[in-house]
């Protein structure tokens, strides 16, 4: 009997390890597919048009989007908001102050604060702000190229999550909890999670009173 139990435990452990290995390979393939499609798509667009669609900070965004999908820093709101807000601030600084050394520090600092206030913290956004000052970007037209790249990166992340369901879901959320709570107050509705809690609590009370 003891030998039988040991054999079952060993088999169970082997199966668990096999599942872990399979899931690990699925994660790696999903990451590779997303990164190739996302960065490849933006790079191809830049090559085909000769326009600055691809920027170095997108490489850092790709690491978050395709390998740390559950991170709050990798969510769509953070990806788009972090880059766009940082670029707007940096371009405005360049237009008003030029691209001296202190403007680099000022632009990145303001970008970080703005991302914190708007709950769109995305570390590569700081790199976007610095890049804009380094290149003395004074035209807001840059935002068009930036947004196009963001859309391609995000689309690749969403598609890879759909192609590999259950491996690493993305996105975890589209908006922070504060935005969801604000929406509930504005439109006078109860958030879904709270609605479920109320329902199950009522069911428990009814069962108790029977």
**Residue 155: pLDDT band with limits 50, 70, 90:** very high
Q: Check if the beta carbon of residue 119 is closer than 8 Å to that of residue 174.
A: no
Q: Are residues 62 and 133 in the same domain?
A: yes
Q: What is the spatial distance between Cα 52 and Cα 58, in angstroms, rounded to a whole number?
A: 12
Is residue 33 located within the same domain as residue 117? yes
The pLDDT of residue 40 is above 60: yes
CB within 8 Å of 125: residues ≥ 6 apart: 57, 81, 82, 83, 85, 86, 111, 115
Claim to verify: residue 89 and residue 126 sit in the same structural domain: yes
pLDDT score recorded for residue 6: 65
Tokens of 24: 């690990």
The answer to whether 111 touches 130, Cβ cutoff 8 Å, is: no
Same domain, 153 and 185: no
Q: How many residues does the chain have?
A: 210
Domain range for 200: 181-210
* Same domain for 132 and 200: no
- Count the domains in the chain: 2
Q: Are residues 55 and 131 in the same domain?
A: yes
Q: Are residues 21 and 123 in the same domain?
A: yes
pLDDT in tens, 101-146: 999 999 999 999 999 999 999 999 999 999 999 999 999 999 999 9
pTM: 0.76
Residue in the block written with tokens 């969510």:
75
């Amino acid at each position: 009997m003891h030998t039988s139990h040991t054999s079952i435990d060993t088999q169970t452990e082997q199966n668990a390890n096999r599942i872990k290995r399979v899931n690990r390979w699925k994660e790696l393939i999903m990451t590779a597919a997303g990164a190739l499609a996302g960065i490849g798509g933006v790079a191809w667009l830049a090559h085909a048009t000769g326009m600055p669609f691809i920027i170095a900070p997108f490489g850092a965004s790709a690491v978050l989007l395709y390998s740390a999908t559950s991170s709050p820093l990798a969510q769509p709101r953070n990806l788009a908001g972090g880059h766009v807000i940082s670029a707007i601030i940096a371009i405005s600084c360049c237009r008003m102050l030029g691209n001296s050394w202190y403007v680099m520090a000022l632009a990145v600092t303001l970008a970080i604060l703005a991302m914190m206030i708007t709950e769109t913290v995305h570390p590569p956004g700081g790199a976007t702000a610095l890049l804009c000052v380094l290149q003395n970007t004074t035209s807001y037209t840059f935002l068009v190229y930036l947004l196009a790249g963001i859309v391609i990166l995000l689309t690749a992340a969403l598609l890879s999550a759909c192609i590999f369901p259950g491996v690493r879901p993305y996105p975890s959320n589209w908006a922070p909890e504060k935005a969801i709570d604000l929406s509930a107050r504005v439109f006078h509705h109860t958030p879904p999670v709270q609605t479920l809690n109320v329902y199950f609590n009522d069911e428990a009370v009814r069962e108790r009173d029977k």
